[in-house]
Structure 1
């Protein structure tokens, strides 16, 4: 038995050989940023005043989760670019179904962003930069397309404890790409550029998942109406593959954390502060 996806015909045996990106592309897993909608809301709260006439770009929009969240919570013109054409098609269809006329998707590369200089008020790059070989060029592009006083929002995943080499090797095989061994400090330095200011940062840890939680999430992914076309045996194979990946990533994320990092381009002043301060732990609140 076989099934037709957007681009090819797959059997259950084929599905068992897919890497993570290929599997989530098959079943249109939301593949949201770390923290999901909570992260998007935190970014939008930290960049007040965004509205009609402003522009947002997400690099690595995948199946459109973050772009659609931002488009539904602002009146901004929100764009997403991704290298996978099938993900772009799916995102466009979803935006159309939701009636979000301010959400736009295109095939694009983070190292060659097809927009003019100083075009966007906010650029969102979740953890996509981890998978771009020429990270320096990509981040230069992020800053290039930002307006003066525009904001670069990055949500990188980093290790705060060293995982075993066995686990690292298995995760690299699962994602089909080398896995960066970066710390939070490494990422903070990497995203910075002269004249930019890291004005907001917050760190999060991942909570351990039970097998039942993973099974429930896999079921919710497979039960999406967009997967009704899949043959039953192919869907079952995809479910087994997803369960394997999520279990593996759950172990890996026990050694990792993520951070929301916001950089403002062209800080208004570089004059040194006299009376330095430090945050009081546990007192941060959003109102």
Structure 2
């Protein structure tokens, strides 16, 4: 990957960055809940191939879009509102030689695409972070083809968090999130009337602090960060490590569901006589 030249940043500017802004600065490999396992699960259940057209909402640094494209040959458009993250995504696409992906700056609340344009929309957990989830989901449905699929991975609390923890997460991502459990997190998608064709429930692993510390140490050694002055780098390290420790604590209380829905005018009766895998 080409080493990005960073703008001259002061410690104060870095201290004022939320986590989403730091992703682009650090060039973090930002994945959906469940990471590559979730991406593969969606690709398999969507029967993706070279003839499919996919929209990746909140693509960040492009990991989901690139993984879908290079493993299935599908054509992917990734959108995000963070131009620095998009620059990283485009650079990754060039370095990987993936030419079936494009990235553009766009808002999930006002998608710049015609009706019925995509076979699959992948929105990860981003819908819970936009200011009007209902409007965003309406846009997803609008640009989906008839019988197209919506893949979403909503996160939710399995154990009850403290008010202090939730406030710290809100400040870190600069989104006024509310505490939701599984039923509440999935309800906006069920309410669309779309046909649910797949669900699988997961819980985040409880990571020891040492694992997260080692991860941060590797990330913060990236060559492009050497262009920052010593004070700015020290602030970046403090800020990033604090965010990752916060997320370690928060995610230990959370789970997520890989959920896929079909835009269909015909809803089948529920299945009755289903099979069990033979041992």
Could you tell me how far 1:232 is from its partner in structure 2? 4.3
Q: Does 1:59 align with 2:63?
A: no
Alpha carbons of structure 1 residues 151 and 74: separation in structure 2 relative to 1, 3 Å: same
Using the alignment, how far apart are the partners of 2:225 and 2:139 within structure 1? 36
Moved more, 244-253 or 15-24: 15-24
Matches of 1:190 and 1:24, distance apart in 2: 28
TM-score calculated relative to the size of structure 1? 0.88
Q: Deviations over 1:123-149 (max 9, x none)?
A: 000111111011100000111111111
Which secondary structure state, in structure 2, belongs to the residue aligned with residue 9 of structure 1?
Answer: coil
My pick for the range that moved more, 234-243 or 195-204, is: 234-243
Which range moved further: 151-160 or 228-237? 228-237
TM-score calculated relative to the size of structure 2: 0.91
Q: Among residues 211, 214, 231, which one is paired with 1:213 in the alignment?
A: 211
Partner of 2:84: 86
CA distance in 1: counterparts of 2:114 and 2:191, whole angstroms = 19
Q: Which of 271, 275, 278 matches 2:272?
A: 275
1:122: how far off?
0.7
Tell me what 1:37 maps to. Answer: 36
Partner of 1:98: 96
Instruction: Indicate conservation of the 8 Å contact 1:215/1:243, yes or no.
Output: yes
CA RMSD between the two structures: 2.3
Per-residue deviation, 1:19: 1.9
* Contact 1:159-1:256 within 8 A present in 2 as well: yes
Structure 1 SS opposite 2:227: coil
Q: Could you say which residue in structure 1 is the equivalent of 2:173?
A: 175
Matched position secondary structure for 1:109: coil
Of the three residues 253, 259, 262, the one matched with 2:260 is 262
Q: Alignment length, in residue pairs?
A: 276
Secondary structure in structure 2 of the residue aligned to 1:110: coil
CA drift of 1:194 comes to 5.0
Uncovered stretches (5+) of structure 2, i.e. residues with no partner: none
* Segments ≥4 residues shifted beyond 4 Å: none
Mapped to 2, the partners of 1:42 and 1:136 lie a distance apart of 25
Corresponding residue for 1:204?
202
SS of the aligned residue for 1:149 comes to strand
Deviation at 1:120, TM superposition (A): 0.6
In 2, Cα distance between equivalents of 1:227 and 1:102: 29
